Amino acid sequence: MSRQQLSLTTRQQHILWATIRHYIATAEPVGSKALVQEYDLSVSPATIRSCMSMLEKVGLLYQPHTSAGRVPSDSGYRTYVDQLIQPSETLSQYVENLLAEKLNWEEAKFEVLLRDAAQILATVSGYIALITFPDNRTTRLRHLQLMHLELGQVMLIIVTDSYETQSVLMNLPQSEDDSTVDESIVERELKILSNFLNSKLRGRTLTELEKLDWSELDREFVRYADFLSNLLTELTRRTVVPKSSPIMIRGISEVLRQPEFSEIDQTLDLLHLLEEEQEQLWSVIFKVPEELEFKSRVKIRIGAENSLEPMRGCTLVSANYQQDQVPVGSVGIIGPTRMIYENAIALVEAAADYLTEALSQPA
């Protein structure tokens, strides 16, 4: 879809802005009388009608019925978003403070944090909030530790830079003479080995593990060579990169109260997409088409700009969150095209900034 901007006069911009604001607030077609009563446009009703007629001719407004007022088209919303509004700085700061107040990165699991963040966005916006888990292809090892268990077993515990924890249980290798090894010696060796592994693996992505060359292990760790090989094979098997990361979704019940979702078939298609087709949804949220790569890092897909049919009556506002300047996940809001765009943009940007900052905290 072309992103070429229409050249509107100041008056035409004001009337388009007022028409869209009124429609967002009421969900009712807008006539010149309503604009005269609600907005100080300093022009006559006849001038407003003439201007609205021109905006309809260029495709920014349309009449759902011949006797009705006018409503914004997808192109009208696009012009409104690109030229006529600014994100709400007040709401952005409010959400950043709310996330910092409600989320505890020191104690909670990462999954819980994303769930709570999505719920906050859904509650504040009144729309569907979506947050993808970090893409495993870019997840990096933050810390690991080997713990000696009973019966000759050891557990490897790893913490990723997205604060997720995983563990692998393995049998300890036997010494060459099969004699019983002093427990204190094993503890000491595992501590040294943990430090060794941290020095070799910290900061590497999980998918890099299988490419590491362990043929030149330090001499003191030769006895552990097969053990390390098996352990890393098991670890990489458990962290096979999926085609997409899970998506945390909140706020469905709230947004379904909007009049745009009164059509049961359209609603069911959207619910099926959200619940059963998350792989398709993930590719839309996290993978940004080139034609939508413009100055703002917040991406807005309005109506027919959405590639998935169930979303053609919706707007998706999304922004990637990053780690080490690499996009690893995305925050999104889905609502009707009759959306309070200033708020949605501010919410998504604030949440993406917060997650980026949180994931960049030192170990």
* pTM score: 0.73
Q: Which fold has domain 135-237?
A: Enolase-like; domain 1 (3.30.390)
The arrangement of secondary structure in 87-134+243-358, i.e. its CATH architecture, is 2-Layer Sandwich (3.30)
The mean pLDDT value of the chain amounts to 82
Q: pLDDT for 19-48, tens place per residue?
A: 999 999 999 999 999 999 888 888 889 999
Please give the CATH architecture assigned to the domain spanning 8-82. Answer: Orthogonal Bundle (1.10)
d(CA 286, CA 312): 18
Query: What is the residue-level pLDDT of the chain in tens, covering all 363 positions?
Result: 445 567 899 999 999 999 999 999 999 999 999 999 888 888 889 999 999 999 999 999 999 887 779 999 999 999 999 999 999 999 999 999 999 999 887 766 778 889 999 999 999 999 999 999 887 666 778 888 888 887 678 888 888 776 677 778 888 776 655 555 677 777 888 888 888 788 877 877 766 766 666 665 555 566 666 676 677 666 666 555 455 578 899 999 878 888 888 778 778 889 989 988 888 888 888 865 454 444 568 999 999 999 899 999 999 999 999 877 778 889 999 999 999 999 999 999 999 999 988 887 665
122, amino acid identity: A
Q: Note the pLDDT tens digit of each residue in 73-107.
A: 999 999 999 999 999 999 999 999 999 999 887 76
Instruction: Express each pLDDT in 129-158 by its tens digit.
Output: 999 988 766 677 888 888 888 767 888 888
Taking each helix axis as running N to C, give the angle between helix 110-125 and helix 89-102, from 0 to 180 degrees, rounded to the nearest 10: 150
DSSP secondary structure of 47-105: HHHHHHHHHHHTTSEE-SSTTS-BEE-HHHHHHIIIII----HHHHHHHHHHHHHH--T
Provide the residue ranges of all domains of the chain, joining segments of one domain with +. Answer: 8-82, 87-134+243-358, 135-237
